[in-house]
Every structure is written in structure tokens, then in C-alpha cells.
Chains A and B, each alone.
Chain A
């Protein structure tokens, strides 16, 4: 069977070879790109394998933080500068005779 790549490992063996297949597939799992059958086999492996579960949790933590925007990092003059961009756009439009 093709799906046997996710076979449930012997419990507690930190060097179980099938983990690398799981590790390699976790991005596709997070991207929801696995078939239902593959997803179920992967989840079965995760339930039995603490190492891969930690690996997945860490991937998720990376993902959670990666897209965060910290608004406190905005420069003090940010609103002003953005307002100036809009004014410049309007001025350029007038110069181009669009108004």
C-alpha cells in the first residue's frame, strides 16, 4: 500500500525512520494539501509519536509569529507621512489635468 509511508512507529524509539516522511509532509499538512487518506495516516502517526508532535507544534508557533505585525513599531509620523502621499497623488492628478 502506498500510504504505508506513515505507518505508526514503535513507541518511544527516537530514531524511527518514518518520522522524516512526516516531517517532510508537515508543511503540506499545514497548507491543507494532503489527501484525506494521507492526512488521517499522518494524524495517526502524530498521536503515537511525541517527537513529530513537538515538531508540528514548533512549526505552528513559527507560523503564528511570522505574520504578526507589531503596530507599536509604526513610526510616530506615520499617519502624517501617509496623508502626504495622498496629497501628492491628488496634486499629481491635478497637474495631469484629471481634475
Chain B
């Protein structure tokens, strides 16, 4: 058993016993990062904080159900993502989920790069971080959450697939679509044909 895994089970046991220090430790480890997720998934920071509170309380209350099959962190994201969807539905917003779309590819059926795919290095000085973030915000719900979770430091792909309740093969598809879409979007701001409107 990996050290992290043992640590997770020990922490869960303390939480099940009502240990307040364990709860503080759990929150210190996960709440900031999980707020980052909530913030990416719901634009409103107040709503993001509400949703996170619900999720953290949900984790504490259902800790008895944690079985250690995935990390505590992945388990927590599983709870959080459902809270996010619930909150959006309450506001009358159905999460937009995209499927496979051949139009999303950067090359044509004959294998040549599509017109407009310039493939020149991005301007180093440009605000890559800001631009990529804005482009991520425009992704469909399922692509955005997959890309965020997969890019999180130290979250193994197989765990991300469990959190998202999809097969690993399916996750790879979703990730590929997401990376293509963000790359293309960011290229419009950072590539050689970038317009002023971004800066």
C-alpha cells in the first residue's frame, strides 16, 4: 500500500471518530485546490464558495463511506462535482456536455493541417496563463473539468476517470478534444495572427 493511501485511510478513520484536528488537516490539504475547481466550474465566486462548503460538509458527514479505493482527494472531487451540477441545475443551468466532434480536429480528412492552423510558437511575452484560462472557461462542462483534474498536480489519470465516472479510454478522448479546443482558442490570442482585443 502506498504511503499516501495509508495516510488517507488513517485520516478518514480519525474523521469518522469526530476528530476536529483531522478535519482541519483535511481542509488545509484540499479546500484551496477544490475551491479552484469550483471556481472554474461556476463563474460566480460566491456560488463557488457555497458549493465548496456543501461538498466539504458532505465529505465530513459521509466519511464512513470512504473505502480507500481512490485517494481521499479524488473521492472529495467526486462529491464536489455533483454539488456543482446540483447548484447549476438549481439556477436553471444544465451543464453543457460535448461528445466526439470531428469538426474539432485541426486537420482535414485528407490528413493535411486545416487552413488557419498556423503552428508558430506563441509569443513568450504574452499572457499565456490568462489566455489559456479564458479559453478554458469557454469549454463545455465535461471538457473543462476533465482538463482541470487531469492537469492537477499528482492526480493519476485512472483516478480522474473514476472521479468523472467514465472509462479511461473515454477520458483520453475528452482530454484530447479539450486540449485541441483550448490550443486553438489560445492561438488566436498568442499566435502570429493575434489581434489587439486580447491585450
Q: Which residues of B in the span 85-137 have a Cβ within 8 Å of any Cβ on A?
A: 105-107, 110-113, 119-122, 128-129, 132-133, 136
Contacts of A65 in B (CB 8 A): 128-129, 132-133, 136, 151
Contacts of A51 in B (CB 8 A): 113, 119
26 A-B contacts, Cβ less than 8 Å apart? A14-B119, A20-B107, A24-B176, A26-B179, A54-B120, A54-B121, A58-B183, A58-B187, A61-B186, A62-B132, A62-B179, A62-B182, A63-B150, A63-B179, A66-B136, A67-B148, A68-B129, A69-B33, A74-B32, A75-B45, A78-B31, A82-B27, A84-B53, A85-B56, A86-B20, A92-B61
Q: Mark A19-31, 1 if CB is under 8 A from B, else 0.
A: 1110110111001
Known: A63-B150, A63-B151. 16 other contacts (CB 8 A): A15-B112, A18-B111, A19-B111, A21-B111, A58-B187, A59-B179, A61-B186, A62-B179, A62-B183, A65-B151, A66-B136, A67-B153, A78-B32, A85-B27, A89-B23, A98-B18
Give 3 nearest A-B pairs by CB, closest first: A67-B151, A69-B36, A17-B111
Name the interface size band of chain A: 35 or more
Checking B24, B122, B176 against A86 with a beta-carbon cut-off of 8 angstroms, the contacting residue is B24
A73 contacts the other chain (CB 8 A):
yes
Give complex CA distance A27, B23 in Å.
Answer: 37
Give complex CA distance A75, B186 in Å.
Answer: 28
Q: Are B35 and A78 in contact (CB under 8 A)?
A: yes
Give complex CA distance A71, B153 in Å.
Answer: 15
Q: Are B45 and A73 in contact (CB under 8 A)?
A: yes
Name the interface size band of chain B: 35 or more
A93 contacts the other chain (CB 8 A):
yes
Contacts of B120 in A (CB 8 A): 54
Q: Which residues of A contact B (CB under 8 A)?
A: 14-15, 17-21, 23-24, 26-28, 31, 33, 50-51, 54-55, 57-59, 61-71, 73-75, 78, 81-82, 84-86, 88-90, 92-93, 98-99
